[in-house]
Amino acid sequence: MKIVAGIITLLFGLSLITLLIITLLNKKFATTFLSSFASSAKTHYIEQLLRLIAGLGVLTYSDSMLLPDLFGIFGWVLTATSALLVIMPWKWHNKFGKRAMPFVIRNLILYAVSASILGLVIVYCVISPLI
């Protein structure tokens, strides 16, 4: 189970790095992708399921990472907020997204760079104890 959690955590970090690469290569696609979150009940629940999996992966694997206390808290926060979003009506999430997305799109490079930095930290903290 610990190996699966480590793989999930590593994939989560890599997905955050991938957002920057996609944004730099095709900003329009990145904008469309991010704008699709919470656009329907189906995408809302898929997004929350993926967030729950990532959060539980980080939470389960945090003891094996550098900065285990920090990643334990991060895992709990990601898992708890995802669980709250699952029980919240998706239309509320959609309404919030419609207000937040113009800000995200205006600052897409900054958003993608920030996500990428978090991804790099996650990948480093997963891999470095193994070396």
Question: What tens digit of pLDDT does each residue of 48-91 get?
Answer: 999 999 999 999 999 999 999 999 999 999 999 999 999 988 88
Residue 7's CB is within 10 A of a number of other CB atoms, namely 13
CA-closest candidate to residue 122, choices 77, 79, 62, 78: 62
- Tokens standing for 95? 């309404």
Average pLDDT of the residues in 16-25: 97
Q: What's the pLDDT tens digit per position in 83-118? A: 999 998 888 988 888 899 999 999 999 999 999 999
